[in-house]
Amino acid sequence: MRPSTLLQLFLLAVLLLASGTTAEKEIDCGIRMSCQNEERTKSKTQQNTNTNKSNMALAARLSGHRRGAATAPHTLEVFLDYVCPFSAKIYKKLNDEVLPFLDKEHPGKVSFIFRQQVQPWHPISTEVNEAGLAIERLAPNKFFEFSTLLFEHQKDYFDENVADKSRNDTYRSLSALAEKVGVDRQQFLDLLIIPTGPNVEVKNGGNKLQNDLKLVIRAGRQNGIHVSPTVLWDGIADTSVSSGWDLAQWKEWLDGRFSATGRPSL
């Protein structure tokens, strides 16, 4: 041990002895008090609806982004961008193999949340993600089916293929995919297309999905999510997860999550 480390330890010990356990108690008490205050301000109804914590993690208007019951004891969240090839890869693995495995081997244990991660270095990512939000609005039960279809067609929206496309062109092309999952093309376009023309006031107001887009972007920013895909287990990001994993690797990782003692150190 270096002398400076020894000195630090000595000073720490002196400090602890001098303060006894008072500091610890104060912190503990402070937390308890603020919890009590919160409880007091909560109405009976609020307490009831807040019982299941996992319900709070996803806005009700994004409920189609969840697969499995909100009351499941675990939550697997994946931040995905429709125009990211690695997102397409991990989504396919999850959709085709991992989630069916969980349904079979751990039924009711995991709630899966699709988090839309807009990545502005692919400018079209915004528009393609808006399409996902339009489906959530018009037919939430089609959200996963539409997302699968979008990932299958993601190449149509890669930078080189859209360099010369207008915003209207992109929405129209996306509306053809919406139609494939049974969503009315016109209703879909009405949510997305910005009215223009000589009689339209220029106010930079965005389209009808702007607030939903802000909501999903904020969820990523608030969690410090930068790139897709990013995987979270019970709210904690795990950068060890790879889009290249096969089912065996997923199973091993999941085993570690389910076992009470086998969880790796955070």
Interface segment toward ligand NAG; rule CB under 6 A; list 50-58, 120-128, 151-159, 180-188: 50-58
The answer to whether residue 168 forms part of the interface with ligand NAG (CB under 6 A) is yes
CB of 247 to ligand NAG, least distance (A): 28
Enumerate residues 6+ apart whose C-beta is below 8 A from 67. 99, 111, 112, 113, 114, 144
H/E element, 135: helix 124-138
Record the tokens describing residue 95, joined without a space: 């959709």
48-56, 205-213, 229-237, 244-252 -> range binding ligand NAG (CB under 6 A): 48-56
CB nearer to ligand NAG: give 36 or 52.
52
Residue entry with tokens 């020894």: 6
Is residue 176 classed as helix, strand or coil in its secondary structure? helix
Q: How far is the CB of 217 from ligand NAG (least distance, A)?
A: 24
Tokens 């959200």 belong to residue = 143
Which candidate, 106, 29, 114, 104, places its Cα nearest to that of 67? 114
Task: Say how many C-beta atoms besides its own lie within 10 A of residue 175's C-beta.
Answer: 21
Q: Do β-strands 230-233 and 110-116 pair in parallel, antiparallel, or remain unpaired?
A: unpaired
Residues of this chain, 183-242, that bind ligand NAG according to CB under 6 A: 193, 196-197
CB of 13 to ligand NAG, least distance (A): 47
- Which position among 37, 47, 49, 210 is part of the footprint of ligand NAG (CB under 6 A)? 49
HSE-CB of 82 using CA atoms within 13 angstroms: 26
Q: In this structure, what token pair is assigned to residue 255?
A: 């085993």
Query: Which of 34/50 has CB closer to ligand NAG?
Result: 50
Min CB(49)–ligand NAG separation in Å? 5
Pick the binder of ligand NAG from 55, 95, 126, 173 (CB under 6 A): 55
Is 141 near ligand NAG (CB under 6 A)? no
CB of residue 235 vs ligand NAG: minimum separation in angstroms?
Answer: 18
Question: Min. distance of Cβ 193 from ligand NAG in angstroms?
Answer: 5
User: How many C-beta atoms lie closer than 10 Å to residue 75's C-beta?
Assistant: 20
Question: Residue 8, interface with ligand NAG (CB under 6 A)?
Answer: no
Q: Which of residues 58-117 bind ligand NAG (CB under 6 A)?
A: 71
Please answer whether residues 221 and 120 qualify as being in contact, where contact means their C-beta atoms are separated by less than 8 angstroms. Answer: no
Task: Give the binding site for ligand NAG (CB under 6 A).
Answer: 49, 51-52, 55, 71, 168, 193, 196-197
